[in-house]
Amino acid sequence: MKRTEPTERDTGGIGRRRLLSAIGGSAVAAALAGCSTLLSDGGGQQSDDGGDSGGSIPEEPIQAGLLTFTKGAPGVLGIQAQRGAELAVQRINEAGGIGGQRRIELDVVDEGSNPLDSYNQFIEEGKEVTFGPISSGTHSQIAPEVEKNEVVNVGTDGTVTTLYEETVPDPTYSFRFQNYDIMEVVTMAREAVERIGADNISTVAGVNPGYSFGEDEMRVFTQAITKLTGAEVVYEGFPELGASDMSNHITSINSEQPDVTFSSLWGGDVTTFVRQASANDMFDSTTVFGTTLYSAAGDVPADALAGTDIYSGSRNYYWGHPALGNWQPGRELFDAATAQDGVTVPTAHYMSGYGAVTAWATAVEKAIDLLGTYPSQDQIAQMLEGHGFFTPAGYHNMAEDHQGSSNSFAGAMVYDDDLGAARLDDVNIYSAAETAPPPGVAGSAWLDSWSG
Amino acid sequence: MPERVETDGETRYRFLGVEATRREAVALALGVVALFAVPDVTRLSDSLQLGVIHQGLLFGFAAVGLNLLLRHTKLTSFGHAAFFGTGAYATAVLAKYAGLQSVGLLLLGAIAAATVMAALIGALSLRHTGLYFALLTLAFGQLLYAIALGQSALGGSDGMPIRPGPANQPLLLGTTFEPAVYQILTYYLTVAVILVGLFVMYRITQSPFRNALDAIGQERTRARFIGLPVRRYVWAAFVISGVYGGVAGGLYAVVRQYVRPEGTLFFLRSGDILFMAILGGFRTLVGPLIGGVVLIFLQDVGQDVTQYYEFLTGVVLLVLVYGFPRGIVGSFRSGGVVSERLGQLRREPSAVADWARSAVRTTERKAVESLSSLRIILFGVD
Amino acid sequence: MAGTLETALVQTLNGVQFGFILFMIASGLTVILGILDVLNLAHGELFSIGAYAGIGVFGFVIGVVGPPSGVLGGVVFVLAVLVSVLLTAALLLPVGTAFEALFLRAIYDRDQVYQLVLTFALLLILLDVKKFVWGNTSLRTDAVYSAINSIPTSELVGLNYPTYNVFVILVGVAVVAGLFWFFDRTKTGRIVRATAIDREMATAIGVSTDRVFTLVFALGAFLAGFAGAMAVPPTAATLGMGTNPLVLSFVVIVIGGLGSLRGAFVGALLVGVIRSWMITLYPPGEIAAPFAIMALILLVKPEGLFGTWGETA
């Protein structure tokens, strides 16, 4: 996208009209895409393209609810999503609010206890839109409720492959922004082939968290890697979440010496695993490819990554790509995020929160543009289907099957002393076409159909 | 209409097979009214939620069953969640794999499963008492938890939804309802079940069976010597208590439409149920039910008030142990702390000063004692 | 495939190491149960407080000593770690004393049910005390694990097994030996055993049961804290870390015999090794197997493998 070429000399930057029409027509969308500083007058003004709203947009603020993990072990992911959502809401409000009128008030509730009750409470309180959750189990629980309540929910995570394949096969109001399990798993399968070579991968193993997410990811990885390389699985370990002792799995891997070890461990488990693996010299036996290892970027200590051989995905967002010096929106997001409480570096989960809010807000803005009034839930839902929008992570599309579709990132996980956190080196990008089944096709059917 | 009956100089009223003093009758009536009024009251206030109180009642009902063992046979079960969980999971399994949709059938299934489970575990646990009994029930409970957690057919750590049929909701009397209406209707179902259950338990406590259980609880060997079939009676009591747990679990599943191993089978849930019985007053019939509502409510309200709500619950339990050992309901009965103290106050209002003074003195004494113990431990016997 | 025998050995060692940590926790639990007749539900929390406190103590002491270099440096470092663990455990002493003297003592002669409620209340209170003092997120100590692992031990015999685990096993053996020595050879220890065997007789010969009880509870807390500090370097201290060890400790003391120290030792190693093998061979068995064994023992031989305190130490 060649947005970065200034053409309007007289204003010293890109003409507002041209920028706004590229972005989707509103100051809010521009602010969320991170392009507001490219606007010559700094943005913060009312939408001026098309749609004469003429007072049929209500004034009272929009009540929004976010279900995420605010504490405990999953808080590593959940707080990132929270901060991302909060930044998006802040930018929307600073740009004047939805439709130039309606500010968003975001209510964040912990997903850790009785998420179903919390979600129902959102609805009872009359929230106009809900975001979240993080956990796949919770998403499977509340997705049917979302459909029943007929209030749009844009999922931040809850990336289980079967959500729109089995649990809610024909969703109307339920959407999911972040790349889902099959996408990130296929990314890492391709990454393994890319780094090591298909001919060099004949055995694989897995150490994944012992619950549905880990099992799902391992299953999909097995399917994908078998298709790509013909490898066989020699060991599968499923330590429980928060397990303190993974030495049994590590010893088994040392014994089997697989070419590739796949892991969907996240948060604190990553540090535990990496540390104990190093102590047992596991990286002499295998190379680790993980989908969410980078979620521990801010948590993993400096010495833990020394001497390791790890590649991690970062779903649809990696803060360092494009490089911060070349990509102003990315830089601004990074600075804003790291200034927030609890964010050492913004991870993919940060973008989950940010992107979910952005998806919804930009869709509503478009609807207001077209209709001239504030849209109903049905109209917003329809608008979201096939909706394209920008965030500092790039371009995203919310496909017709309600699953978000974006690029995926992966790279070598190393520690950066200046940053005080881990980063990804030598980043590869995979397009959605490489990692996601076509809309309407089930994940396993798609993998089955591969011939190499 | 209520009959007046004079026993031991006290006037009691008998109605529908229940005998109570005037005060008890009034309390009972108020209680029933309160139960029925809950959905309306909770609509008025944001901090009171129907779901929370409903949950408390369900766990409290399981605690009422547990109390049959605790109060009479003096058996402390640390595995009651096994029956609660069995009822809950049976409902989920029937909904998912047998395609049962009707609430009535699902509950029957829950009862059947819990009965079988209680019969099985009871038969194995009969010979033990005291701590061994507690640990054995704990072991069985954890075994069931491990099974539910480990089998993907049972949903593993994610649990199972109860969404049978095209409506994704169990059918009440063959119809589906709006979610809000469904919640209210299932609440009234629970109330009906509780009233029936309490009545049954009441009749048990008025029967010779209760006396036999008391005798067994006091002194097993003697009970056997006087000819009581100890094993059979304990087993029967165990099964009955399990049924209460299973019914509560089945209702829980039907209402929440989701069951997880942690919330239904884990030993901390068993502990919760036990403590509800004690909190409410395990020497009373209705106490455990009240204890259930209070404990769940505490945890819920506590969470909104502070992040240290476990500390709050812990302090409440401490106050219970030291100040109100008879529990909430028990303390109001004659002989309980509250009624005693109130009586004292009525006779002599200045008693408050005495209490304060003695409290201070006791605290001082304890502090001195423990400091000296610490000194001895660190520096040896003096 | 690298040496199946070696793998089998390492997997077993993994279990043994876990077993020793479990023993340290369960020994405190069983001693408290044997002497005071109290099932301390808060024991897991004492363990986790040891872990949290240990992080701080490690940071301080290791900061003074510095990383190990050369043989002498290695020895000094190991000693420093041991000192830190002992200090951490000592921090639990006043906690245990206070519990027993302030709370437990008042309810000894009451219904057993109240003890359970009390120790459970203490569990809840400690949960939030930890949250208050150390916060909501998990904490780690960076200094110890990799530093000790850099000291070669099993590498010297050609075995790939982290030195820290060897350290845990050696310390565990020392703790076992120390406890047996304490209860067998020292005067205090024998007084404690006497009180367990026959409380009235002990009082008759002039033993203050109050002091013995406080001592025993403090000892139990000490052992739990010790275990916590030993367990934390390879992993992290989390708020919920006390639950699993607590429940497994129940299994251990039942297998071994309520109150039996020898039984706790055998039981802990048994549970540790079985669990380790279950993870490798049949994962659902990891949680199920210990409880199945527990139920079996209670049904077949309720007094456990070694009976209760008093018959054998």
Where b means 16+ CB within 10 Å and e means fewer, C143-176 reads: bbbbbbbebebeeeeeebbbbbbbbbbebbeebb
Shortest CA distance from C21: residue in chain A? A245
Cα first-last separation, chain B: 73
Across the interface, whether the CB atoms of B152 and A215 are under 8 A apart is answered yes
Contact in structure between B11 and B4 (CB atoms under 8 Å): yes
Q: Which two structure tokens, joined as six digits, stand for C292? A: 């199945």
Contacts of C243 in chain B (CB under 8 A): 268
* B114-127 tens-digit pLDDT: 999 999 999 998 88
Which residues of chain B approach chain A closer than 8 Å at the C-beta?
49, 51, 152, 156-159, 161, 163, 168, 179, 256, 258, 303, 307
Q: Which two structure tokens, joined as six digits, stand for A222? A: 């097995």
Residue A307 above 90 pLDDT?
no
Q: Are residues A130 and A72 in the same domain?
A: yes
Contacts of C18 in chain A (CB under 8 A): 245
Contact in structure between C165 and C235 (CB atoms under 8 Å): no
Query: In the 8-state DSSP scheme, what is residue A239?
Result: P
Mean pLDDT of C165-179: 94
Rounded Cα distance between A385 and A400, Å, is 5
- How many helices (H) and strands (E) are present in chain B, helices listed first? 16, 5
Distant-in-sequence, close-in-space partners of B254: CB < 8 Å, separation ≥ 6: B91, B103, B106, B107, B162, B170, B186
User: Could you give the dihedral angle defined by the CA atoms of residues B322, B328, B333 and B335, in that order, rounded to the nearest 10 degrees?
Assistant: -10
Nearest to A117 among B51, B157, B163 (CB): B51
Contact in structure between C195 and C209 (CB atoms under 8 Å): yes
Q: Please, where are the H alpha helices in B174-326?
A: 179-205, 208-218, 220-225, 230-256, 261-264, 267-280, 287-305, 309-323
> Is residue A205 in a domain?
yes
User: Residue B365 half-sphere exposure, CB side, CA atoms within 13 Å?
Assistant: 9
Answer whether C3 touches A (CB < 8 Å).
yes
Contact in structure between A404 and A397 (CB atoms under 8 Å): yes
Nearest to C136 among A71, A244, A268 (CB): A71
Tell me the residue range of the domain where A256 lies. 182-314+408-448
Mean pLDDT of C75-90: 92
Mean pLDDT of A224-248: 92
Nearest to A248 among C161, C234, C280 (CB): C280
Size of interface A-B (CB pairs under 8 A): 34
Judged by DSSP in three states, A286 sits in coil
Count of structural domains, chain A: 2
State residue A53's pLDDT score. 45
> Is residue A4 in a domain?
no
- Which residue in A251, A252, A254 has the most chain C C-beta atoms within 10 A of its own C-beta, making it the best mutation to test that interface? A251
One digit per residue, the tens of pLDDT, for chain B of length 382 reads 677 777 776 777 777 777 777 778 888 888 899 999 888 888 887 777 888 899 999 999 999 999 999 999 999 999 999 999 999 999 999 998 988 888 999 999 999 999 999 999 999 988 888 888 998 999 999 999 999 988 888 888 888 888 887 777 888 887 888 777 888 999 999 999 999 999 999 999 999 999 999 999 988 889 989 988 999 999 999 999 999 999 999 999 999 888 989 888 898 899 899 999 999 988 889 999 999 999 998 888 887 788 888 899 899 999 888 888 888 888 777 667 777 777 777 888 777 788 888 888 888 887 787 777 777 666 765 4
Across the interface, whether the CB atoms of A257 and C1 are under 8 A apart is answered yes
Distant-in-sequence, close-in-space partners of B259: CB < 8 Å, separation ≥ 6: B85, B88, B89, B91, B92, B155, B159, B160, B162, B252, B253
Nearest to B308 among C41, C113, C131 (CB): C131
Rounded Cα distance between A164 and C112, Å, is 53
User: How many Å lie between the alpha carbon of A137 and the closest alpha carbon of chain B?
Assistant: 6
State residue A24's pLDDT score. 61
Residue C184 above 90 pLDDT?
no
Contacts of A240 in chain B (CB under 8 A): 157
Check which CATH number belongs to the domain holding A214 and give it: 3.40.50.2300
Contact in structure between A345 and A338 (CB atoms under 8 Å): yes
Q: Subunits touching C (CB < 8 Å, at least 3 pairs)?
A: A, B
Please report which confidence band the pLDDT of residue A25 belongs to, taking 50, 70 and 90 as the band edges: low
State residue B257's pLDDT score. 87
- CB proximity under 8 Å: B 298-317 to C: 307-311, 313-315, 317
- How many helices (H) and strands (E) are present in chain C, helices listed first? 12, 0
Nearest to C117 among B267, B317, B377 (CB): B317
> Is residue A193 in a domain?
yes
Where b means 16+ CB within 10 Å and e means fewer, A234-260 reads: bbbbbbbbbbbbbbbbbbbbbbbbbbb
Domains along chain C?
4-300 (1.10.3470)
Contacts of B156 in chain A (CB under 8 A): 211-212, 215
Greater confidence (A44 vs B228) lies with: B228
Answer whether C8 touches B (CB < 8 Å).
no
* C3-22 tens-digit pLDDT: 788 889 999 999 999 999 99
Please report which confidence band the pLDDT of residue C32 belongs to, taking 50, 70 and 90 as the band edges: very high
Judged by DSSP in three states, C236 sits in coil
* B54-72 tens-digit pLDDT: 999 999 999 999 999 999 9
Across the interface, whether the CB atoms of A251 and C3 are under 8 A apart is answered no
Rounded Cα distance between B191 and A306, Å, is 62
Contact in structure between A117 and A174 (CB atoms under 8 Å): no
Contacts of A144 in chain B (CB under 8 A): 161, 163, 168
State residue A9's pLDDT score. 47
> Is residue A48 in a domain?
yes
- Which residue in B145, B266, B370 has the most chain C C-beta atoms within 10 A of its own C-beta, making it the best mutation to test that interface? B370
Across the interface, whether the CB atoms of C234 and A237 are under 8 A apart is answered no
Burial grade of A423 (CB within 10 A; 0-12, 13-18, 19 or more) = buried
Long-range contacts of C149-158, Cβ-Cβ distance < 8 Å, separation of 24 or more: C149/A279, C150/C67, C150/C68, C151/C68, C151/C74, C151/C77, C151/C78
Across the interface, whether the CB atoms of B134 and C39 are under 8 A apart is answered yes
Residue C185 above 60 pLDDT?
yes
Q: Are residues A230 and A146 in the same domain?
A: no
Rounded Cα distance between C95 and B377, Å, is 13
> Is residue A203 in a domain?
yes
Long-range contacts of B212-219, Cβ-Cβ distance < 8 Å, separation of 24 or more: B213/B68, B213/B72, B213/B73, B213/B237, B214/B72, B216/B72, B216/B73, B217/B72, B217/B73, B217/B74, B217/B75, B218/B74
Q: Are residues A188 and A292 in the same domain?
A: yes
Q: Are residues A273 and A221 in the same domain?
A: yes
Length of chain C: 313
> Is residue A322 in a domain?
no
* Strands annotated E in chain C: none
State residue C240's pLDDT score. 87
Q: Are residues A413 and A385 in the same domain?
A: no
Q: Could you say which of A374, A389, A405 is where a domain stops?
A: A405
State residue A2's pLDDT score. 41
Rounded Cα distance between B134 and B132, Å, is 5
Distant-in-sequence, close-in-space partners of C170: CB < 8 Å, separation ≥ 6: none
Residues paired with A260 in a beta bridge? A204, A287
State residue B375's pLDDT score. 77
Residue A5 above 50 pLDDT?
no
Where b means 16+ CB within 10 Å and e means fewer, A350-375 reads: bbbbbbbbbbbbbbbbbbbbeeebbb
Q: Are residues A224 and A334 in the same domain?
A: no
> Is residue A379 in a domain?
yes
Contacts of A304 in chain C (CB under 8 A): 146
> Is residue A319 in a domain?
no
Rounded Cα distance between C213 and C236, Å, is 32
Backbone φ and ψ of B13, nearest 5°? -115, 140
Residue C313 above 60 pLDDT?
no
Q: How far, in Å, are A93, B140, B150, B152 from residue B147 at the CA level?
A: 50, 11, 5, 10
Q: Are residues A82 and A226 in the same domain?
A: no
State residue B126's pLDDT score. 85
Q: Subunits touching A (CB < 8 Å, at least 3 pairs)?
A: B, C
Mean pLDDT of C216-231: 95
Greater confidence (A104 vs B132) lies with: A104
Q: What is the largest CA-CA distance in chain C?
A: 66
Greater confidence (A123 vs B351) lies with: A123
- CB proximity under 8 Å: C 131-160 to B: 131-132, 136
Shortest CA distance from C122: residue in chain B? B314
Across the interface, whether the CB atoms of C165 and A278 are under 8 A apart is answered no
Q: Subunits touching B (CB < 8 Å, at least 3 pairs)?
A: A, C
Which residues of chain A approach chain B closer than 8 Å at the C-beta?
71, 113, 116-117, 120-121, 136-137, 140-141, 144-145, 148-149, 210-212, 215, 240
- Which residue in A247, A259, A273 has the most chain C C-beta atoms within 10 A of its own C-beta, making it the best mutation to test that interface? A247
Give the 3-state DSSP-derived string for A319-378, with helices as H, strands as E and coil as C: CCCCCCCCCHHHHHHHHHHHHCCCCCCCCHHHHHHHHHHHHHHHHHHHHHHHHCCCCCHH
Q: Are residues A305 and A219 in the same domain?
A: yes
State residue A36's pLDDT score. 64
Shortest CA distance from B160: residue in chain A? A141
User: How many Å lie between the alpha carbon of B375 and the closest alpha carbon of chain C?
Assistant: 10
